[in-house]
Amino acid sequence: MQERRKSNRMKIDVSIQLNSVKSNNKDTSELKKDAFMVDLVNLSKDGMGFTSNEKLELNTFYDTTVVLWTKEKFDTVIEIVRMENLDGEGPTFYGCRFVGIMPSDQLKIQIYEMLNENNK
């Protein structure tokens, strides 16, 4: 499989809360209305991956706050661009891209990545 990511992903083990973002041009009637927790698996300056038991649709948007181990945090909007559940049971892995992230927050992630690499 060809790697299509623009940035390297680093492993991270935190839980974050997602809130669905309503869009005027898409049918959001099937989206979960309440906030829910997911387990973040990896992170890059361009996106992140997480697992969840919630059934999410591709090309849907969620608002979240990510807290790094340094206690730095940032708010962002994500779009679900990939999902993978090989056995059809248990949690599904979702890949998403940031669609609303400040350049200063991308810098926080890059600094976190450098610190993470130096601690190995």
With respect to residue 1, please indicate whether it lies within any of the assigned structural domains: no
Query: Does residue 109 sit within a domain?
Result: yes
Instruction: Evaluate whether residue 91 is within a structural domain.
Output: yes
Number of domains in the chain: 1
What lies within 8 Å, CB to CB, of 60 at 6+ separation is 20, 26, 28, 31, 79, 80
**Is 3 within a domain?**
no
Using alpha carbons only, how large is the chain's radius of gyration in Å?
14
Instruction: Give CA–CA dist 26/23, Å, rounded.
Output: 6
Residue 4 lies in a domain: no
pLDDT value of residue 4:
56
CATH number for 48: 2.40.10.220
Enclosing domain of residue 25: 10-118
Is residue 63 in some structural domain? yes
The pLDDT of residue 111: 84
What does each of the 120 residues of the chain score in pLDDT, given as a tens digit? 444 556 677 788 888 889 888 655 555 454 455 689 999 999 998 999 999 999 899 999 999 999 877 788 899 999 999 999 878 788 999 999 999 899 998 888 888 788 777 776
Phi, psi of 113 (to 5 degrees): -65, -45
Stated pTM of the model: 0.79
Q: Tell whether 114 is covered by a domain.
A: yes
- According to DSSP, the residues that pair with 74 across neighbouring strands are 66
Alpha carbon distance 64, 76 (integer Å)? 6
